[in-house]
């Protein structure tokens, strides 16, 4: 049940002491990097280090722009000689320079250990057949999980992303028991199973690790239902290694964030002040166990809230709630703030709605317009127009209640929207292009 019982169930007081020790050695180390050297000196880091974890608030934040800046990119954050590095990964960001993270041998060992901890928590064991359906390469979901699964002792299949028919034949040929998959792709793959006339529930699958993109609990339940397995939410970002940052335990009430390796803060993204207990804010993380490229108070842009009460599973590390989106995902329409996940939440509450949707933003006569294109489920895609119109109206009404503006809703044929092999693209912003949806 535990990969490292001592660390995972460490009493809070001891865990916080460990954090303070590791934070101070991280700061000392970071102060040796070209980027942090001028920023950490004179910022209240007393000789001998911080005396309490709260004192971290006196240090500057680090942002994605810092990683991309001329001072940061590519080697400005290194605290070791370049010959100590054995791997680099970079984030999937589509705009501007990618952010690159370098790892020493020890960093790879630490990271694999964190991933092994997550997989063990979900019930993965030696003897499992683990099919990793995430992109291998610069993206961390491939190699990150791969190393962790091997450490647990699972027979690891480096399937990579896409190629649905091949994925299914691998599952059949090797009796895959565990998959690591992007949730939107898991739903998409269901159509290929249907085309092949194969019931995914007849295979040997028992666990799915779902990660890399925000998804609602209803999407998780759909994946569980389609495949007949238990799905676990896996959170990470390349700047913090990748997967292995936070993961659900069997209680599935939030994701334990490994506090021996990351120091957690939650801030108001507008004021940068700490968020009051229980409220949603931006997650800020400091690496506590990274050697080659420590990051201090890194603003993840991910929105969540914290649960500090003890968990029934016995682990003492705090939990974060399912991520609801990113600060930069927010759409502003007619002065109203909207997150794509709000639309998903409403759509997925309708059993008639299938597994893919797209939010299209346009400008018509200088007015922003939001159109939700939602695929119907195959069994509901029939010719009864009045029933479809009635359904469409109900969806418009529910969406209006959730996002406070009236969207257009188009119900479309199953499998008609474009799909991505990687993270799902949920928003098509055509404002400024002068064309309709």
User: Given the rule CB under 5 A, which residues bind Zn ion?
Assistant: 249, 251, 311, 313, 315
3-class SS string, 23-76: HHHHHHHHCCCCCHHHHHCCCCCCCCCCCCHHHHHHCCCECHHHHHCCCCCCCC
Q: Rule CB under 6 A: is residue 326 a binding residue for ligand AMP?
A: yes
Q: Rule CB under 6 A: is residue 28 a binding residue for ligand AMP?
A: no
If 0-12 CB within 10 Å is exposed, 13-18 middle and 19+ buried, where does residue 154 land?
buried
Q: Which of 323, 370, 372, 411 is in the footprint of ligand AMP by CB under 6 A?
A: 323
Comparison of 234 and 355: residue with beta carbon closer to ligand AMP:
234
- d(C-alpha 186, C-alpha 181), whole Å: 6
Comparison of 249 and 417: residue with beta carbon closer to Zn ion:
249
Instruction: Name beta bridge partners: 286.
Output: 263
CB of 220 to ligand AMP, least distance (A): 10
CB of 29 to ligand AMP, least distance (A): 23
Residues 168-227 that bind ligand AMP (CB under 6 A): 211-214
Comparison of 22 and 180: residue with beta carbon closer to ligand AMP:
180
- d(C-alpha 111, C-alpha 116), whole Å: 9
Q: Rule CB under 6 A: is residue 147 a binding residue for ligand AMP?
A: no
CB of 350 to ligand AMP, least distance (A): 22
Inter-CA distances, 416 with 241, 372, 437, Å: 35, 14, 14
* Beta carbons within 8 Å of 283's beta carbon, 6+ residues apart: 264, 265, 266, 300, 302, 303, 304, 320
Comparison of 10 and 370: residue with beta carbon closer to Zn ion:
10
Q: How many residues bind to ligand AMP according to rule CB under 6 A?
A: 18
CB of 13 to ligand AMP, least distance (A): 30
DSSP assigned state of 430: -
- Taken in order 185, 188, 190, 195, is the CA torsion positive or negative? negative
One character per residue 91-120, x = contact with ligand AMP (rule: CB under 6 A): xx----------------------------
- d(C-alpha 190, C-alpha 198), whole Å: 9
Reduced to 3 states (helix: H, G, I; strand: E, B; else coil), residue 422 is coil
Q: What share of the chain is helix, strand, coil (3-state, %, to 5)?
A: 35, 25, 40
CB of 107 to ligand AMP, least distance (A): 16
CB of 311 to Zn ion, least distance (A): 3
Q: Rule CB under 6 A: is residue 302 a binding residue for ligand AMP?
A: yes
Q: Which of 168, 223, 237, 333 is in the footprint of ligand AMP by CB under 6 A?
A: 237
What are the residues binding ligand AMP (CB under 6 A)? Answer: 91-92, 140, 211-214, 233-238, 242, 300, 302, 323, 326
């Amino acid at each position: 049940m535990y990969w490292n019982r001592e660390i995972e169930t460490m009493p809070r007081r001891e865990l916080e002491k460990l954090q303070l020790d590791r934070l101070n050695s991280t700061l000392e180390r970071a102060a040796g990097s070209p980027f942090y050297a001028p920023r950490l000196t004179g910022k209240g880091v007393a000789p001998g280090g911080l005396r309490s974890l709260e004192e971290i608030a006196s240090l500057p934040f680090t942002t994605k722009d810092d990683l991309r800046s001329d001072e940061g990119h590519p080697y400005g954050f290194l605290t070791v000689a370049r010959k100590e590095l054995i791997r680099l990964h970079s984030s999937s960001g589509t705009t501007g320079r990618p952010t690159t993270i370098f790892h020493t041998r020890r960093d790879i060992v630490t990271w694999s250990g964190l991933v092994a901890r997550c997989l063990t928590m979900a019930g993965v064991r030696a003897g499992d057949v683990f099919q990793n359906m995430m992109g291998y390469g610069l993206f961390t979901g491939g190699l990150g999980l791969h190393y962790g699964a091997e450490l647990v002792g699972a027979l690891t299949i480096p399937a990579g992303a896409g190629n649905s028919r091949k994925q299914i034949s691998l599952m059949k040929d090797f009796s895959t028991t565990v998959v690591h998959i992007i949730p939107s792709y898991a739903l998409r793959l269901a159509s290929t199973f249907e085309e092949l006339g194969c019931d995914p529930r007849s295979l040997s699958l028992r666990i799915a690790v779902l990660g890399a993109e925000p998804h609602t609990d209803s999407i998780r339940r759909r994946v569980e239902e389609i495949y007949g397995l238990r799905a676990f939410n896996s959170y990470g970002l390349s700047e913090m290694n990748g997967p292995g940052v936070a993961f659900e335990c069997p209680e599935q009430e939030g994701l334990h964030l490994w506090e021996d390796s990351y120091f957690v803060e939650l801030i108001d993204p507008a004021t940068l002040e700490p968020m009051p207990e229980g409220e949603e804010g931006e997650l800020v993380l400091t690496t506590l166990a990274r050697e080659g490229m420590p990051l201090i108070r890194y603003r993840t842009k991910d929105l969540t809230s914290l649960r500090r009460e003890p968990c029934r599973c016995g682990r003492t590390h705090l939990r974060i709630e399912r991520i609801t989106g990113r600060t930069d995902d927010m759409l502003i329409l007619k002065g109203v703030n909207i997150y794509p996940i709000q639309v998903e939440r409403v759509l997925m509450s309708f059993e008639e709605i299938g597994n893919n949707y797209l939010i299209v933003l346009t400008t018509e006569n200088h007015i922003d317009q939001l159109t939700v294109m939602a695929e119907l489920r195959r069994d509901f895609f029939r010719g009864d127009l009045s029933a479809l119109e009635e359904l469409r109206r109900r969806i418009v009404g529910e969406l209006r209640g959730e996002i406070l503006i009236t969207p257009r809703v188009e119900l479309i044929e199953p499998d008609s929207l474009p799909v991505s092999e990687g993270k799902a693209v949920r928003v098509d912003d055509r404002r400024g292009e002068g064309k309709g949806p």
